[in-house]
Amino acid sequence: MKTIIRADVMGYCMGVERAIKIAEKELEANRRVISLGLLIHNAIENQRLADLGLEFQEVETLPEQGNGQTLLIRAHGLDPKVQKSLKERGYHLVDATCPLVVMNQKDIVKARESGLYTVIIGKPTHAEILAMKGFADEHRLSIISSEEEAQVLDIEETDLFILSQTTLRPDLLLRIKTILSKRYQLHEYRQSICPATQDRQKAVKALSEKVDVIIVVGDSHSANTRGLYESALDAGIPAYLVSQASALSCQQISAYERVGITAGASVPDYVIDEVEDLLKKFLE
Ligand code: SF4
């Protein structure tokens, strides 16, 4: 008899749920609401919100004059200089930045005011990193995303404040810190990877010991979803990354006895349930 096992922790995190609730509340007030970029890294949920009236637009394409238009800052945050400029142009900002991202932004300001050189570990083009950059002194800031970049980082100062993208894989952060600590004195105010990422990572590792294959539900451009997928592969388990039930090849999965399911932090329960229901129908 084939079995399907869910990871102990998966799916929506606090910051994503909070951003969705803020968007829904603004829409319920019958306001026209524009999210600055896609609200979350999940196409299905973004479409549901679009059906409720949420619009998505990049800062660069907004009209010069805001005329009181409501703009929603998503969980990743937004560069404070951009926020100031939008307010001056007459936009009304509603801030859905995740409180954990805000804590990292505050730590960057604290480090800057303490005179420390800041090193951010994360993907330079990710929205959270682009927002973080705005809180740092751009002349005393480096952004790196790999062990190779850590090896060749060349900063004259010896004291560095380091923090990471909230969704970075904990093992990658540890490896980069080990490399940097050989040449620099590292300062950290606290763990900057968010507990939701760590909990989902621990859960996928535990799951990999109980199953023969892991289905990772989520969008491929979601950093934490990709992290779950890579962790499953690193554990030596075959893994499939699918955005929704219709993308799943049950034929491939039928070769395995014990099938695990996990999901990224932007995946609603109904999408996970549909994947599980399809697997149950096919395998049981
Ligand atoms: S992954 Fe963590 S930091 Fe990012 S939105 Fe979710 S709770 Fe906040």
Would you say the CB of residue 265 lies under 6 angstroms from ligand 1? yes
AA identity, residue 211:
V
Residue 170 near residue 204, CB atoms below 8 Å: no
The pLDDT, as a whole number, for residue 2 is 86
pLDDT value, residue 191:
87
Q: How far is the CA of 3 from the centre of ligand 1 (A)?
A: 31
Q: Catalytic: 188?
A: no
How far is it, in rounded angstroms, from Cα 58 to Cα 15?
A: 21
Question: Would you say 187 is a known binding-site residue?
Answer: no
All CATH 3.40.50.11270 domain ranges of the chain, comma separated, are 14-98
- pLDDT recorded at residue 254: 86
Please tell me the predicted confidence (pLDDT) of residue 113.
Answer: 95
Closest-CA residue to 275 (of 256, 238, 251, 250): 250
Atom of ligand 1 nearest to the CA of 19: 5
pLDDT at residue 84, as a whole number: 98
CA angle 120, 232, 246 (to 5 degrees): 105
- Please give the CATH number for the structural domain made up of 14-98: 3.40.50.11270
Residues in the chain where the model's pLDDT stays below 70: none
Three-state DSSP state, 11: coil
- Which residue from 9, 13, 226 has its CB within 8 A of the most atoms of ligand 1, so it is best to mutate? 13
> What's the CATH class of domain 3-12+196-283?
alpha beta
- CATH number, domain 100-187, options 2.120.10.30, 3.40.1010.20, 3.30.360.10, 3.90.550.10: 3.40.1010.20
CA dist 202 and 27 (Å) reads 36
The pLDDT assigned to 223 comes to 87
How far apart CA 11 and CA 221 sit, in angstroms, is: 15
CATH 3.40.1010.20 region(s) of the chain?
3-12+196-283, 100-187
**H helices within the chain, ranges in order?**
14-28, 43-52, 80-88, 99-113, 127-133, 147-152, 170-181, 195-208, 223-234, 250-253, 269-283
